[in-house]
Structure 1
Amino acid sequence: MIRRRDAAQATLDHFSGRPFAWGGSDCARLIAWHLRRLGYKPGLSRGGPYKSALGAHRALARAGFASLDQWLEWMGLAPIPPAAAIVGDIVKGTGDDVFGALGVCLGNGRLLGYSEEAEGAVVMQAIDLAAAWRAEPR
């Protein structure tokens, strides 16, 4: 739990208030950065750079994944019920686009992620989660 807490805090410190930018500060980059703190090798960069939603979709496909869900499972993260997510786990909210919205569980019903209503990455209340993955430290 200490490694989970430390990784979640480091991710919060690094991304908090950082403006959303496709290919630099987006939910996939936030999750990849967090997972590196837990000992994972995300491999997302093999899809190449991108600067838009369409570019992100193409980069994901070039990396060999049909979805972010598939990418998370490729790394060995096991799907879990969203209600079972604990500090450091990855959660996915419902979204209007093909990607959904990934975030890092901070505990106590909170998560770190990007929201259309905020300038940058923010801590928000988890209300409508569609999926979650267990991110065990390696």
Structure 2
Amino acid sequence: MIETIRRANAAQACMTLFAGQPMDWATRRHCGRLAAQSMMRMGRNAKLLNACRAKTVRGVLSYLKRNKFADLVELMDATGLERIAPAMARPGDIIALPSQPGDGFGCSLTVALSDGRVLAANELTGCFETVMPVAFVAAWRV
């Protein structure tokens, strides 16, 4: 029961900070920071995600390349979180959704909410919104 409440609180904190807000590389409000926020709220180390201080897409891609990560999936695997099936995700877990082919990231990181919904950056509106994903890349237990 306590674990459920802690997860709900972590997911709600992410909603409070990101939902309805525009995605903005200059203020570092992007999917990596969203995932880091969930990890920190759940008491996990988000050092690899927070180490990137880049304020542009190019800077983030450079960070991935410098640290020898092919994409965000490899970066998330390096955090030490357990990989799970996306259907097993509970609130606060991180789910990677497909991104635009050739964007260099390989996926977009989201935070699981409840009932199969996730908090994600919507490329069409440019804001963080609650969405119901239909395709997945990977997921990690936080």
Aligned match for 1:130, one of 112, 123, 137 = 137
Paired residues of 2:36 and 2:50 also in contact (CA < 8 A): no
Structure 2: gaps (5+ residues): none
Distance 2:41 2:77 in 1: 18
TM-score, structure 2 normalization: 0.85
Q: Which residue is 1:39 aligned to?
A: 43
Q: Which residue is 1:6 aligned to?
A: 9
Instruction: Give the 4+ runs in structure 1 shifted more than 3 A.
Output: 61-66
Distance 1:72 1:130 in 2: 12
Q: Identity, % of aligned pairs?
A: 35
TM-score, structure 1 normalization: 0.87
Closer, same or farther: CA 63–36 of 1 in aligned 2, 3 Å: farther
Distance 1:119 1:46 in 2: 24
Structure 1: gaps (5+ residues): none
Over the aligned positions, Cα root-mean-square deviation in angstroms equals: 1.7
Moved more, 124-133 or 57-66: 57-66
Helix, strand or coil for the counterpart of 1:107? coil
* 1:98 equivalent in alignment to 2:104: yes
Residues 15-54 of structure 1 aligned to structure 2 (within 5 Å): 15-22=18-25, 24-43=28-47, 44-47=49-52, 49-54=53-58
User: Structure 1 residue 62: deviation in Å?
Assistant: 3.7
Moved more, 21-30 or 106-115: 21-30
Closer, same or farther: CA 64–3 of 1 in aligned 2, 3 Å: farther
Distance 2:75 2:66 in 1: 12
